[in-house]
């Protein structure tokens, strides 16, 4: 698996959040995450402790983005 550049990852993840939550709630989420003293891995484990790894979550996000793009082209 190749890694995409940070700026592309950031933009695509932001778009997923906006598509799902809208701009206002996405901005609130970004602010909450930037103020948080804990790192993302700890936050993820606390809120999504279902055995899913960060890598698995990333794969779900990629599939969601691909499906969204495909439906937009249809």
pLDDT tens digits for range 41-56:
777 677 666 777 778 8
Q: How many CA atoms lie within 13 A of 73 on its CB side?
A: 6
Specify the pLDDT at position 36.
Answer: 67
Could you tell me where the DSSP H helices lie in 1-74? Answer: 6-35, 40-47, 54-73
For residue 13, how far is the Cα from the chain centroid? 4
Specify the pLDDT at position 23.
Answer: 92
The tokens for 13 are 């993840």
pLDDT tens for 7-39 read: 998 899 999 999 999 999 999 888 887 876 767
Specify the pLDDT at position 24.
Answer: 92
């Amino acid at each position: 698996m190749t890694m995409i550049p940070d700026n592309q990852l950031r933009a695509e993840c932001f778009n997923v959040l906006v598509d799902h939550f809208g701009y206002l709630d996405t901005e609130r989420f970004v602010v909450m995450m930037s103020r948080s003293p804990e790192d993302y891995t700890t936050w993820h484990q606390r809120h999504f402790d279902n055995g899913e790894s960060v890598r698995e979550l990333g794969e779900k996000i990629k599939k969601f983005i691909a499906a969204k793009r495909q439906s937009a082209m249809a």
